[in-house]
Amino acid sequence: MPRAMVTGGAGFIGSHLVDALVRRGDPVLIVDNLITGKRENVNPDADFEETDIRTPAAAELVRRFQPEIIFHHAAQMDVRKSVADPLYDADVNIRGLINLLEAGTEVGTRQVVFASSGGTVYGEADEVPTTESAPLRPESPYGVSKLSSEYYLGYYGRGKGLSCVSLRYGNVYGPRQDPHGEAGVVAIFTGLLLEGRRCKIFGDGEQTRDYVHVHDVVSANLAAMERGPEGAISLNVGTAMPTSVNTLHAMLADFAGGDPDVERAPAREGELQRSALDFSKAREVLGWRPEVQLCDGLRSYVEHMRAHRAPG
């Protein structure tokens, strides 16, 4: 039963991972400052510290808890905010990571699993589905900070004997994703459709993304914990299936029974046109593959949201 620290464990993906670790019986410590995470997501059978990963207090928590493995999900993950305030983005995403890694290497942490982003480290890829050997051309400070974190993990993996697995997620969707504000398009569309409101699509709606269910993302984290190799490695966690925003909207409107029409708005500057992730390397190294079909995942997400909607 390895002691696991989960940063960002009050957030969307991190909280699902905590639930899975708790179910296995692993002792879990969540470190999260609740800037976007929610107290109600915190699993009551895990320890929880409301702490910022950049602080000496967070490093002290690592020294005290002595995790065998750190799952690092805490992040500044808003692309537009990273453009408006690149210093804050780098502070949280790069300095926060190094703070934990330095403390972890002091107390013998053996493994780090890092939530990277396949949608941003490649930029506009020449080939879709994209493999890990494709050129890395992040187009936002957020993408640069995720990629820099992977490079730091390369240094700690090779130089300090840690096993570091960077999982490059596609667009993750599922319960607890925040439908308000900047969160993923699946949550935003579903929220609007269930309220009987019309969705807005930027550009022609033919831009594609790789939508991967949070259940599959959690299983990739568990596989990385069990089968992550020595040294450092980066692996795509997606479905290899590009889905356009128009198709996604049509599927969600069908399941939610909402307004099938959309409001069209001008394309957003700098938005990627095509993104999908080849997962052959994760299959080979971790024995992982996605299991949730998009239509099943979306249908169950809509049902979940319908059941948990605030009345009125």
Ligand X SMILES: NC(=O)c1ccc[n+]([C@@H]2O[C@H](COP(=O)([O-])OP(=O)(O)OC[C@H]3O[C@@H](n4cnc5c(N)ncnc54)[C@H](O)[C@@H]3O)[C@@H](O)[C@H]2O)c1
Which residues does the annotation mark as catalytic? 142
Q: Which of 59, 61, 77, 201 binds ligand X (CB under 6 A)?
A: 77
Stretch that binds ligand X, among 10-18, 152-160, 195-203, 247-255 (CB under 6 A): 10-18
| Closer of 275 and 312 to ligand X (Cβ) | 275
CA 302 to chain centre: 20
CA 24 to chain centre: 21
Stretch that binds ligand X, among 31-39, 131-139, 254-262, 269-277 (CB under 6 A): 31-39
Stretch that binds ligand X, among 27-35, 157-165, 268-276, 297-305 (CB under 6 A): 27-35
Confirm or reject binding of residue 14 to ligand X (CB under 6 A): yes
Q: Which of 82, 171, 190, 219 binds ligand X (CB under 6 A)?
A: 171
Q: Which of 17, 21, 29, 53 binds ligand X (CB under 6 A)?
A: 53
Q: Which of 21, 37, 61, 166 binds ligand X (CB under 6 A)?
A: 37
In the complex, least distance from residue 92 CB atom to ligand X, rounded to whole angstroms: 4
Q: Which of 10, 28, 62, 282 binds ligand X (CB under 6 A)?
A: 10
In the complex, least distance from residue 132 CB atom to ligand X, rounded to whole angstroms: 15
In the complex, least distance from residue 260 CB atom to ligand X, rounded to whole angstroms: 25
Buried b (16+ CB within 10 A) or exposed e, 245-267: beebbebbbebbebbeebeeeee
Confirm or reject binding of residue 36 to ligand X (CB under 6 A): yes
| Closer of 52 and 254 to ligand X (Cβ) | 52
| Closer of 1 and 11 to ligand X (Cβ) | 11
Tokens describing residue 187: 């949550």
Q: What residues have CB less than 8 Å from 140, skipping those under 6 apart?
A: 79, 82, 83, 120, 270
Q: Which of 79, 162, 172, 252 binds ligand X (CB under 6 A)?
A: 172
Q: Please list every residue from 85 through 124 that binds ligand X, using CB under 6 A.
A: 92, 96, 115, 117
| Closer of 169 and 255 to ligand X (Cβ) | 169
Closest CA to 242 of 127, 132, 165, 154: 127
In the complex, least distance from residue 124 CB atom to ligand X, rounded to whole angstroms: 17
Which residues of the shown chain bind ligand X in the complex (CB under 6 A)?
A: 8, 10-14, 32-37, 52-54, 73-77, 92, 96, 115, 117, 169, 171-172, 184
